[in-house]
Structure 1
């Protein structure tokens, strides 16, 4: 046996959508109901474990044999569930099956720019056999607890005997899923995922298996403090406004209107705008509204939901979650969008929360919700006797873009460890700019332009990055864009060289090469091959017409609403895809370099490593910033720090 295609149907009283696969499979109620498999692409077999059938011995042996490649769609779920099953049988020594011999059809679909659900991939590929639409209702019926009623005899779970017809259909559904997965593999066979990407996937699975420790005493008290804080804030708002429910947007808008403050929205931006000119009595209400609107406690609840028996959060990263660039995305807790911390005496404040000392927090700080928000990162802690090393790449996208476009002056800034925002402002305004020094006020404009303009952004992008909120005037935004572009002629040229290469590739159905990047047309696909050898995929590319009447590149993909639709692109946007994708490849190269270390998490361009106290921070940073062999001339720099709870330094 060389390959095994697998799909399982399971039961657990844990809500997988809130708690993730690891805690789901950890439940005492967990069991595998159906196990469908096909060996070496043969006939699909279904083992009805709920009816007492047994998985054949040779299949059990294959599950623990790293020479047999196991395939599944969202393979992490199958691997974790089967790990629990084999552990219960005494057939697995480690906590989880090694990911080394597992392959994921969902990752393959993502690599090809396809949707991330089995049903959607089947539809897009036009497979003869499609995922059965009855699946959701069958899963709801057999795989989750049910509400006890008089009609169902007070039971809290539906068994096969309660609906034999549905159970027969469920077995057919289980079998069909394996057939669809195998059909996807067959259809994509001429576009194989490179081996180095599977190695990255295996490392990702190791990190998800390892998990990161949560300080549950801290989390429990943070949730309790938030509840008490919200109760007091709501009481004060009721007292000030006389409203039954001051959390109601409609009631609050009505009250504000009665007091001379009209607003269409009560989102963060609108409340900040209202506060600028609000009289004291309105300002207090709006400030209370701001505090109540803090949703940070949801992160603490998510931590509690996901935390396994050993207080570790597992499965919080989705490999190839962003299928346009291949970047990672988050699941459950969403470490990718944690609030910043900027308050002083972080450890002391954290101690107050861990002790549940609401009174001291209330006296010392204006906003308890804001304190809890800033402390979210600190809920992640290393094991006893160990520490975290947190290291991240400095200005990674700016460095990659400069290297690709051969913008020499920028590379010189990076080589001398200069401040790219000051250097940008100096070139834009033709004067010397020093942080906190000569012409220091111009640095902010350099920073805004640097963040907004690198991928063709103009006035709208500057506004999105907060240019007006930072004090800039509307009439200075366009000149700022023009100044940035004039200071970076090679980057601007790079945008349009890429634009021409992509269009010519599609028109001529040929291969074009520029700046070390290959544009390849193959079998109705456009691939952009990166220096690492990884490819970005654009499905059914065409030349369309943009809003200005000119030519544009279009392709099929997931739009902002996650619907499969035709998407328009152009040079600067393709440059953004390429730059972010290469930045992702550099992070993965660093993760492979540091693979012998216990990487417990990664956030954007940052690695969090749990290690012994004697491990050297400079050594970790030195290893992390090694330039990959495929990126000769790219200058990398990392900065890091040590801590005993996670934080933003």
Structure 2
């Protein structure tokens, strides 16, 4: 471990610091510490638990720090009644509105404590999110942050419970004497990080983004996660049978078309069938190990060369839906609540969008019929209806706003269908004479251009030759000249600053923008154009979510926000609240940010997600 030693010599460790970490394991000590901490304006909190899944985790202990190098750890016994007694003693501390609660991924602690009947009140400061706002592309875990900002090496959890794997212990298996230093360190380091990151946020000019957009969202997401969403397991069972039968049919068809049986799930065998046996193209791409490449992209581009390819793609799509959703969703239902509790990750994407995991609900394919089957299985609570609201063309509207393109702004202000309006201008005809095919091409151009698509890419997407694609792009920039200027300016700004920003100053760093490698540079240039647009859309829906949540709270509504998928919000709403909820949601979505063009939200109701959307 030679390299490690050199590294460690620069980092301080707990042994070398003069700290006061205390194990608070009697009622008397608890009383004293609660009295002391009640008067503090800033309190760093952390929980030790039995699981990384907050809805299943049991408390093992709670730690607190109010001063650097000083922290307290309170063990919590395994029996629920005993545990509740101790947690209740600390309720006034957690529910003290006058103290700012500091945490690293504080949403987790909020959810764990909520399962013990405690609401964390007061302002919040999440060190993980502070770093996410400062450096979206980097890692945000505490061990890493301590190293970077404090030049300190934390006690890693593996030192206590062993490496990941089936023999890994959990915190409950250790006596408090072995846990308390680790737990105290967590609360202490988090407090130290807050003191450093707070200054950084000021220096970088992202305080508004952090305090006004990201922090209020934490409670909203905690609320959505604990609400969970109901799943119609019967419907999924039927879907499973239906999909499985179709898979067997497709399998037969593939074997017939290929003239032999093989393992469709094996990329190697698929490659051999397509390129050695059927010789679909002469020079097929190979990997370093000499295997044929049969990625989705490659197969999509060969789709019209042989009908077996479409079937293989269909087979893969169905198999993925079955594995990822149809058969997996019922297993994710929490036995205690009877619902699925997705985790919404606020510090994962480079663009500022939320992501979700266990299950990831943001990549259910919605275009095709099969993906729709899965949305059918998401249902509201009893006596409630499913309500779905989504932004209409928010990214194009942001493009119009950022580029200030007169023609695009006019098209939106006059209330025309933007794709038809674009087609009319490109083809220089009256909007009444636009054919569905023209509209489709204009739509591809509208969205493609936001993402900085090339003539070649556009030609491929529209199934037209490059000459027509070039004419279309030229016509597009003639129609919207300021969009062109915006794109050039974005790339220019990125070259000079090394980053681009959203309307709320969320940064996206693009170190490759000056790369000598054209492919790498091209990718960075497309991001320079798209990141401010996609990121601004993400910022705007976050603002809307926080405001909707606040209004639901202030009117004590029973309606619940349950899912967010990028531009779309979903709710479970009692019959009696339908009109009011629709009014609140649409108002807050459309008022989240003022632009040169109005924000528009569409919505729908139904007995499940598919019907509502």
**TM beyond 0.5:** yes
Equivalent residue runs for 1:46-61 within 5 Å:
46-49=73-76, 59-61=90-92
Q: In structure 2, the residue corresponding to 1:313 is in which secondary structure?
A: coil
1:10 is matched with 49
Among 300, 304, 316, the alignment partner of 1:276 is 304
Q: Do residues 108 (structure 1) and 130 (structure 2) align?
A: yes
* CA pair 270-490 structure 1, distance change in 2 beyond 3 A: closer
Please say if residues 502 and 535 of structure 2, whose CA atoms lie closer than 8 Å, have aligned partners that are also in contact: no
1:122 is matched with 145
Q: Do residues 610 (structure 1) and 609 (structure 2) align?
A: no
Equivalent residue runs for 1:345-384 within 5 Å:
370=370, 373-384=371-382
1:623 is matched with 587
* CA pair 452-131 structure 1, distance change in 2 beyond 3 A: farther
**Cα deviations by residue, 1:374-405 (Å, 9 ceiling, x for unpaired):** 31111111112211221211111111221222
Q: In structure 1, the residue corresponding to 2:102 is in which secondary structure?
A: strand
Q: Which is richer in helix? A: 2
1:512 is matched with none
CA distance in 2, matches of 1:502, 1:469: 28
* CA pair 620-247 structure 1, distance change in 2 beyond 3 A: same
Q: In structure 1, the residue corresponding to 2:337 is in which secondary structure?
A: coil
Among 535, 538, 541, the alignment partner of 1:587 is 541
CA distance in 1, matches of 2:108, 2:583: 36
Q: Do residues 21 (structure 1) and 21 (structure 2) align?
A: no
**Cα deviations by residue, 1:58-97 (Å, 9 ceiling, x for unpaired):** 645312333333222111222222333xx3xxxx2xxx63
1:146 is matched with 167
Q: Pick which of 247-256 and 102-111 moved more.
A: 247-256
Q: Do residues 80 (structure 1) and 78 (structure 2) align?
A: no
CA distance in 1, matches of 2:68, 2:146: 21
Unaligned runs of 5+ residues in structure 2 are 1-39, 285-291, 553-558
CA distance in 1, matches of 2:314, 2:512: 52
2:361 is matched with 335
Equivalent residue runs for 1:155-554 within 5 Å:
160=173, 171-190=180-199, 191=201, 193-194=207-208, 195-197=211-213, 198-223=215-240, 226=243, 230=247, 243=261, 245-256=263-274, 257-261=276-280, 264-272=292-300, 276-278=304-306, 286=312, 289-290=315-316, 293-308=319-334, 309-322=336-349, 324-340=350-366, 343=369, 370=370, 373-434=371-432, 437-454=433-450, 456-459=452-455, 462-463=457-458, 467-498=459-490, 528=501, 530=503, 534-537=504-507, 545-547=514-516
Please say if residues 393 and 605 of structure 1, whose CA atoms lie closer than 8 Å, have aligned partners that are also in contact: yes
2:26 is matched with none
Offset of residue 582 of structure 1: 2.7
TM-score, with structure 1 as normaliser: 0.71
CA distance in 2, matches of 1:234, 1:538: 45
Please say if residues 2 and 40 of structure 1, whose CA atoms lie closer than 8 Å, have aligned partners that are also in contact: no
CA distance in 2, matches of 1:159, 1:638: 48
Please say if residues 503 and 543 of structure 1, whose CA atoms lie closer than 8 Å, have aligned partners that are also in contact: no
Report the aligned-residue RMSD: 4.1
CA distance in 2, matches of 1:339, 1:284: 17
Offset of residue 221 of structure 1: 4.4
Unaligned runs of 5+ residues in structure 1 are 26-30, 148-155, 344-369, 507-525, 550-559, 561-565
Please say if residues 390 and 569 of structure 2, whose CA atoms lie closer than 8 Å, have aligned partners that are also in contact: yes
2:599 is matched with 636
Please say if residues 626 and 636 of structure 1, whose CA atoms lie closer than 8 Å, have aligned partners that are also in contact: yes
Among 93, 105, 120, the alignment partner of 1:62 is 93
